[in-house]
Structure 1
Amino acid sequence: MFTIEPMVVAYGPHREKSRFTYMHNAGVAIDIPYVSWLVRGKDLNVLIDVGCSARDYAEHIRPKDRQLVHVGQVFADVVDVKPITEHLRDRGLAPRDIDFVVLSHLDWDHCMTMDPFTESTVYVQRREWETTPSHEMFATSFAPKEHYDKIAEGNLELLDGTHKIAEGLELILSPGHTFGGQSAIVKTSEGTFVIAGMCVLKENFYPTEEQQEHFKVIPPGGHTDLFESYETMLKLKEIGGDNVLPLHMSEAWDITRIGSPIGA
């Protein structure tokens, strides 16, 4: 059994909600948390994504002379919440205690804070690694090439689909938002949870009754394949049921821990 602790490291203010909920909520502005998900089991510590700090955004993502324009929207600058190293320290951990860093996909807001984790094995799907950046239309979704080169110099391991990290913790390929996204299936004392490797919100997996007249799930606004992302989300929901945890869910601000610690 494992526990899951969402650690909000920063957020993107006033993002267009329809970027996440395809064809829904146009003109609605929301704050998007950048979350690193700490998964802990007996003698095993895993991070799902590492987020992006305001400093990394300013130094590596934002143009030097203006705000970032990303697929038609002028982005307000990233705002820090708490450094990932402080989140870990609050939990009695240091970066060297992290055995594996799982990058759900390679958009910059999920993979920038890699420097502290030089001793960790890093898992990326091979399909994701070989198709980043995915297309010129999404060029601003990705970090500069030198950032990925730096990741490659570390303990990078490329995966080809399903990979069992440990009993009760498994990674699966979940394409559609990007070509090679991956999701984590985590068994806890509260049931099986899915950390869904797509840039979506809770609403995407659990639409309102009115929305469900047309969509069983709402695909991400940004996608490499609309229909593939829809089918992937249905698969993830079939596995997780009511326990799907989207990467940018606003509820992450309020969740302390899912599951009981070993021995509790």
Structure 2
Amino acid sequence: MARYRIHPIVMGTKQFDKGMMTYQHDYGKPYTIPIYCWYLEGGDRTILVDTGEMNPVQSEDREQAIGGRIYTFEEGLARHGLTPERIDTVIHTHLHNDHCENDYKCTNAEFFVHPKELEHIHDPHPLDFRYIPDYIEDVEENGQVRLVETDQEIVEGIRVMHTPAHTEGGLTVLVETNGGTAAITGFCVINDNFFPPKQIRAMEMDVIPPGTHVNAYEAYDILVKVKDMADILLPLHEPAFANGKTIP
């Protein structure tokens, strides 16, 4: 089986209340999250998970907050000798705008997306303002979208699992590496969600659901399932990976 090396590339940030990540915990605490594009090196295809922000804020204070450099899409790919045109596979965890703003630049890629994400990006609930159809119209019109309706292998060593915790069509990407199975979560969380502080564990909670979720109870169960099955957990917005070090 193919084995991959995972390269996290910061292609944006958000500054907000930490409770946006950790349900019922740390409300009112300012927090900065990185927005990642993950390059999966190995095998015969050039694969990204998500594409990040189109025009990220690149400032010293934000880079200090996350502990790493912030890149544009082109800058981030160039670090690995890549260009947008060389990408042939993009797997989307979900279609909130900060995860798909550079899709249109990947003119030769297939985009793997859960049908629920396409449904919601074209007809979002008023509460879910993060769906913006403009960012995927080009790849849809060009016939580049591939629907993923069930848990399945995308290529050897990389499979997706439907995990509707943060959005209804969230896909967790399971990547085989030399360090075991790595899970790039299909929901927006940080390390604290999987490894809660002592005061949360004292309440007999093993995980913390995402601050934004479809159903809090189901999200809790999904996080427990992903935590139990992965050797390496890669929460989608964890700052610890902003240094760009290769995983594993």
Could you say whether these structures have the same fold, taking a TM-score greater than 0.5 normalized by the shorter chain as the test?
Answer: yes
Question: 1:210 is paired with a residue of what secondary structure?
Answer: helix
State the match for 1:84 in structure 2.
73
Count residues in correspondence. Answer: 232
Match of 1:60 in 2: none
Cα contact 1:202–1:246 (8 A) shared by 2 = yes
Unpaired segments ≥5 residues, structure 2 = 58-68
* Counterpart in the other structure of 1:77: none
Percent identical residues: 30
Output the amino acid matched with 2:217: F
- Is 1:208 matched up with 2:197? yes
Which residue of 2, 5, 15 maps to 2:4?
Answer: 2
* Structure 1: distance between partners of 2:56 and 2:209: 31
Matches within 5 A, 1:1-264: 1-13=3-15, 15-54=16-55, 81-132=70-121, 133-138=123-128, 140-143=129-132, 145-154=133-142, 155-214=144-203, 215-241=205-231, 243-259=232-248
Aligned partner of residue 118 in structure 1, secondary structure:
coil
What is the distance in 2 between the residues matched to 1:141 and 1:99? 26
Alignment partner of 2:82: what SS? Answer: coil
CA offsets 1:160-215 (integer angstroms, 9 cap, x no match): 12121222211111102101100110111122110001111111011123211232
Structure 1 residue ranges, 4+ long, deviating more than 4 angstroms after superposition: none
Runs (5+) with no aligned partner, structure 1: 57-79, 260-264
Partner Cα distance (1:55, 1:8) in 2 = 9
Letter in 1 for 2:32: D
Q: Distance in 2 between matches of 1:156 and 1:119?
A: 11
| RMSD of Structure 2 on Structure 1 (CA) | 1.8
Report the alpha carbon displacement of residue 147 of structure 1 after superposing the two structures with TM. 2.9
Answer yes or no: is the 8 Å Cα contact 1:47–1:102 preserved in 2. Answer: yes
**In 2, Cα distance between the equivalents of 1:224 and 1:30?**
22
Provide the C-alpha distance between the structure 2 equivalents of 1:174 and 1:137, rounded to a whole number of angstroms: 20
1:9–1:36 contact (8 Å) kept in structure 2: yes
Partner Cα separation in structure 1 for residue 170 and residue 97 of structure 2: 13
User: For 1:131, what is the secondary structure of its paired residue?
Assistant: helix
Aligned residue for 2:60?
none
Whole-angstrom CA distance in 2 between matches of 1:191 and 1:55: 32
Q: Secondary structure at the match of 1:177?
A: coil
Tell me by how many angstroms 1:134 deviates: 4.2
Contact 1:134-1:179 at 8 Å conserved across structures: no
What's the TM-score, normalizing by structure 2?
0.88
CA distance 1:257–1:231, change in 2 (3 Å): same
After superposing the two structures, state which structure 1 stretch, 89-98 or 186-195, moved more: 89-98
What CA deviation, in whole Å up to 9, does each residue of 1:79-134 have, x standing for no partner?
Answer: x9211222211211222222211111111111111122011000100122223354
